[in-house]
Amino acid sequence: MDRAPATERSEARRHLGRLWHRGCEFLGVEAAIMGGAMTWVSERHLVSAISNAGGFGVIACGSMSPELLGREIAATASLTYRPFGVNLIVMHPQLMALAETCLEHKVSHVVLAGGLPPADVFRRLKQGGAKVMGFAPALAIAKKLVRSGIDGLVIEGMEAGGHIGAVSTAVLAQEILPAIRDVPVFVAGGIGRGEAILSLLEMGAAGVQLGTRFVCARESIAHPRFKQAFIRAAARDAVPSVQLDPRFPVIPVRALANKATDRFMETQRDVIERFERGELDLKAAQLEIEHFWAGALRRAVVDGDIENGSLMAGQSVGLVSREQSTQDIVTELIDQAVDALVARENARRVPEAAG
């Protein structure tokens, strides 16, 4: 593709820099692109690669113990001198100990996910000098988090992979970005190109968070078969899990449809029938459905079992066409945003020249 003159591109880059200056300053990076925390994927190699590329890598703690998290933080720090963060799930039984581990290793930013941050953990992280971020699935929760002293927010639309909410990225952005100005807000869910990043920045976002786009980075340790499933997939292949009966709640998870998806539906039907026959009580039936996916993500990401594992992916998976270095992904996203700015400026000039 023909590139615009260097002077035009330089001005466009400066403009992009102004748009995400707040996010870059908050994270301490060159590009306000956070890596989404993906269990088994967002570990030392990918996290350090995102940070080394100028973005902000985030370790997915998941179910790690404090000791294991400490080793992962240290290993990541050995691979990059640039800032990175840690994502902690608020339901983890050792949440406070994990927070202490982050402080001990001087992690600059801690992202608390999976619910409202517990007050004691929140206070401890703040007292320890970490910047704390939280997820806001609605404007009311965003305002509540801001009042509590949160340092930054992530709003994530239902187009994202893994556990999802009920509202699209576009609607969340329109609802929250104009109303929240006190703290930087990063937008996630279905973002795979630089033009989309640019439009969100112009709406008031401080930056973005991308997960699916980085799964097929060369530095990602995801199994080659897992990566190939992403490369082959279209956006419509990433579907949310379905709940058959409200008595047996299923937290929606967006993933690529496979044989395990069909078996999950069959399992739900079977469990419901056994409950109706009196063979299971309600709690036992709920647990059997809930435990269906236990270990399924590891089977897919680490072992490469793409038929029986969980292929968590956002709808932006349709924009993943090949394996690339993390640096190339970040550079490509920035170039797309810059190209869009240059094209818009050139289009603006045409009527002026004609006049």
Q: What is the pLDDT of residue 189?
A: 98
Question: Is 8:345 a contact under the CB 8 Å cutoff?
Answer: yes
Q: What is the mean pLDDT of residues 116-122?
A: 95
| 98-102, 171-175, 316-320, 344-348: least confident range | 344-348
For the stretch 42-79, pLDDT in tens is: 999 999 999 999 999 999 999 999 999 999 999 999 99
Q: What is the pLDDT of residue 5?
A: 76
Q: What is the pLDDT of residue 151?
A: 98
Which of the pair, 7 or 59, is modelled with greater confidence?
Answer: 59
Q: What is the pLDDT of residue 1?
A: 47
In this structure, how many other beta carbons lie within 10 angstroms of the beta carbon of residue 135?
Answer: 24
pTM for this structure? 0.93
What angle do helix axes 44-52 and 66-77 make, rounded to 10 degrees? 40
Question: Is 71:63 a contact under the CB 8 Å cutoff?
Answer: no
Closest CA to 256 of 226, 276, 277: 226
Q: What is the pLDDT of residue 4?
A: 61
Question: Is 80:86 a contact under the CB 8 Å cutoff?
Answer: no
Identify the top-confidence range among 183-192, 243-252, 266-275: 183-192
Q: If pLDDT is split at 50, 70 and 90, which confidence band does 354 have?
A: low
Q: What is the pLDDT of residue 350?
A: 65
Question: Is 156:137 a contact under the CB 8 Å cutoff?
Answer: yes
Q: Position 155: which residue type? A: I
State which H helix or E strand residue 138 sits in. Answer: none
Closest CA to 184 of 29, 334, 315: 29
Domains and their CATH numbers in the chain = 6-210+325-351 (3.20.20.70), 224-315 (no CATH)
Q: What is the pLDDT of residue 19?
A: 98
| 95-99, 274-278, 284-288, 333-337: least confident range | 284-288
State which H helix or E strand residue 241 sits in. Answer: none
- 3-state class (DSSP) for residue 272: helix
DSSP letter at 137? S
Structure tokens at 22: 């707040």
Per the document, the length of the chain is 355
For the stretch 192-236, pLDDT in tens is: 999 999 999 999 999 999 999 999 999 999 999 999 999 999 999
> Whole-number mean pLDDT of the chain?
95
Sign of CA dihedral 309, 216, 159, 186: positive
